[in-house]
Each structure stands twice: as structure tokens, then as C-alpha cells.
Amino acid sequence: MGRALAGALIAAGHEVTVWNRTPGRAGALVAQGAREAASVAEAIGVSEVTIVCLLNDVSVREALGPVTGKLAGTTLVNLTSGSARQAREFAGWMREFGVRFLAGGIMAVPPTVGSEGAFILYSGPRDLFDRLAPVLAPLGRPQWAGEDHGLAALYDMAALSGMYGMSAGVDHAVALVHASGGDVEAFKREVLRPWMEQMLAPMVEGADVSESVPEEYNPAMQATGLETMLLTSDEAGVPAELAGHLRASLWRMRRAVAG
């Protein structure tokens, strides 16, 4: 992801200095016009805006901890995936050194960074977001989530939860067809994809924060249908772990029936 972000900024004409925890991995970016720094301190020292994208919150703190003196008065954007609490605590840490800070959540995968559909969530001071948005735009459409530094991470993780939930359903569906001897490619092309595309909008719009289920869903009927899906899965010999999303939905429907 870091290479994709740096590449998009280089392509947009920005002067980019890069640093990687593992030396020697910046060759392709240098060939595109980036300058490779020998240390984190050097990268921070020559940049008006520092963008961080590492593995997790721990790796960011390990990288920046020894050079906090260099951070004083700088502007930093952290696009590393983490929790909302971690983002808020990191913002407090940066505040100790007078750092102007935006937390981010990347709503793209590396091949789509900088493309029309990519967007990146940012949270923190609105005036800082407005100032940096034109600089950050080549990475993907900048979208402000709010002043609370934890909001970008919160929305990022929530959206990923929705994606992984869909992915779990797709994995189970394909495993079921495969285990039953069906034509997996035809199923994906002719049944699963058009069905998922048809249901995505009403599924998102109908999502609810409560444990209750709208009457029009007919929870008793839904519970029966889910039980049949699980029975079919068991009969096909699909591992029970792949049907976890169905068991979670069945639990909700049974609670609704019980009142």
C-alpha cells in the first residue's frame, strides 16, 4: 500500500521522499522519481507533509518514537489501519509535540489507489483537512469523517466488517456449490453475482442498529429459511466454520421470534 500511495503522489507531480523499514525496497519508486531517505528522521526533515502507512499502530509508534523531536511543528497524516481508540491515543501523543495531525482510513486496495472509485477517510481538524485535501486528492477522493480523530478508523473498520461479512457469505456459497458437484463458475457468473448486485442496496439501506427485526422480514420465516440453509450446508459436508454468518443471522431471528 505504501508503494501505491507514493506512486500516486509521484504521478501527480509531487516531490516525494520515501522511507521503508526494510532497506532496498524503494528501488521502483526511486526509478519513478522519488528520493529515498536513509532514516525516518531524514524523511520527516525534508517533507512539508509526512504520510505514514505501516502495518499497525505498534509499528508506527516504533518508527516514530525515536524521532519525536523531529516531529515538533510538523504536519502528519497517518493512513495505517488501526482502531478508533488507537487513533485517538495517537492524536494525543502527537499533540504533545505540537504536530498537526489527520488520521485516515484507506477505502481502496493498492491496485485501485488513485482511481476514480477510490476514496480515503480523514478525521481531525476541518481546517487542516481543507488545506491538505488538494495534496491528498491523487491518492483517492478525500472524505472528511469529522473532528474526532477516531472516526476515520471507526468507519474504516465498520466498512471492512461489512465487506468481510459479504466475503464470508460468498466463500460459503461457492464451497456449497463445489461440495455438491455444481458448476462453480456458472453459479458465480449466472446466479451469485447478479443476485448480490440486486440485493446490495436494500441490504445496506435495511441495516439496523437494534437486535429487533422489522415485521415485514417475518423473522419466523427467515429463521426457517436459515435453518434450511444450514441443513443443506451440513448435508454437503461444508465445514461448519464457513457458515458462521448464517448462525449469527439465525440467532438474531430466533431472538426476534421469542420477543
What secondary structure does DSSP assign to 111-137, as a single string? GGTTSTT-EEEEES-HHHHHHHHHHHG
Q: pLDDT tens digit string along 212-236?
A: 566 667 889 999 999 999 999 999 9
Name which of 63, 76, 54 is nearest 122 in CA terms: 76
Q: pLDDT tens digit string along 176-215?
A: 999 999 999 999 999 999 999 999 988 888 777 665 566 6
Do residues 168 and 244 make contact, with C-beta atoms less than 8 angstroms apart? yes
- CATH class of residue range 2-148: alpha beta
pTM beyond 0.85: yes
Do residues 97 and 72 make contact, with C-beta atoms less than 8 angstroms apart? yes
Amino acid at 89: E
Kind and range of the H or E element at 61?
Answer: helix 57-64
Distances 249 to 5, 36, 154, 218 between C-alpha atoms, Å: 38, 50, 23, 13
Compute the half-sphere exposure of residue 83: CA atoms within 13 Å on the CB side of its CA: 4
- CATH class of residue range 156-258: mainly alpha
- The distance of Cα 30 from the centroid of its chain, to the nearest Å, equals 27
Query: Residues spanned by CATH 3.40.50.720 within the chain?
Result: 2-148
pLDDT at 214: 61
Query: Residues spanned by CATH 1.10.1040.10 within the chain?
Result: 156-258
